[in-house]
Amino acid sequence: MSYAPYLFNDINIAQAHGSPNQLYMDSAIYDYWVRALYQRMTSIFEWKIPETWEGNNKDFLNWLLFSTGFVGVINTEKYGYIFQPCQPGATRDIMYQINSFIVTNPYDAEISKEYKCGEDGEFLKLTPDYKGTFDIINFYASRLAFLYTSINSTILKERAFTIYAARSKTGAQALKILESKKASGDPFIILDKDVMWPDAKTKDDAIFDISPEDREYKTDKLLASEVEILREFDTAIGIPNINEKKERLVTSEAESNMLNSTATAFVWFDCLKDSISKIKKLYPDIELDVELRYGAAINETSGEENREEVKEDVSDDSNA
């Protein structure tokens, strides 16, 4: 089994089998957002771990927990307390729950075996269903990659040059004057009607043509969509939107918004805490614990401030 970082380019390959292929995203942009969202996701927990788990080992721990959903924690004579990539074993308890895990380490055959939970080792789980969280990352990375494909196309379109067709040197000179006035910010450019349209009597053609163009600026709207998608991602993984303030936001609304943005994090947190409790029951002296990094922010954003704003607004209205 390989634990090298995942390759995230498969989505374009999968879409290519469609007939016709309706979807396209830049794979480099997609990879960027997968990495960015993964790092954003790993920020929600603060760990207290054994010293030997620090550094690159901690990075590996995060990778395993968020990509596969769990690791196996064991105590070895050679290494002490270690965590290992593993797979659920065949043993089940009376409640049909997985009760063992199998470690297959190519670098040390002595630790490669099946471990019974509560006796030989214990799971450290992030999710209750033994699954990782990259379905969430992939979902939002895909949306952001599609968005940035549009942003790049829009920017390219908005910086494209305008091409005119002049029928004479006089027309070309008139166009130069016209563009010079536009570039200087002149809000009113007045042209003789005979310059723009053929003379009805003489049938002479206009000296140049200006084709109507859609020049609506759209990049700012797309960039605003990026902020909204990232906010949705934060809500999905449990990062509270603590910088967002809305006028007349009542306490119940504030608490409801906070609940939505922390529900998933609480599920993961409870699952980790339950796992750590079992690990400490088996290994009482292990230094292992976890806390929600945004726990204090959640309490500070409880709606009290908004409640006071509402009171002040109501008071002002009554005095009026």
Question: Is the predicted pLDDT of residue 44 greater than 50, yes or no?
Answer: yes
Give the mean model confidence (pLDDT) for residues 252-277: 75
Question: Is the predicted pLDDT of residue 79 greater than 90, yes or no?
Answer: yes
Give 289's pLDDT tier (boundaries 50, 70, 90): very high
Question: Is the predicted pLDDT of residue 193 greater than 90, yes or no?
Answer: no
Name which residue leads in pLDDT, 318 or 68: 68
86, 102 in Cβ contact below 8 A? yes
Distance CA(27)–CA(148), nearest Å, equals 11
pTM: 0.68
64, 83 in Cβ contact below 8 A? yes
Rounded to 5 degrees, what are φ and ψ at 4?
Answer: -65, 150
Token pair, residue 104, equals: 């297959």
pLDDT in tens, 222-262: 888 999 999 999 988 888 765 455 544 455 444 545 555 56
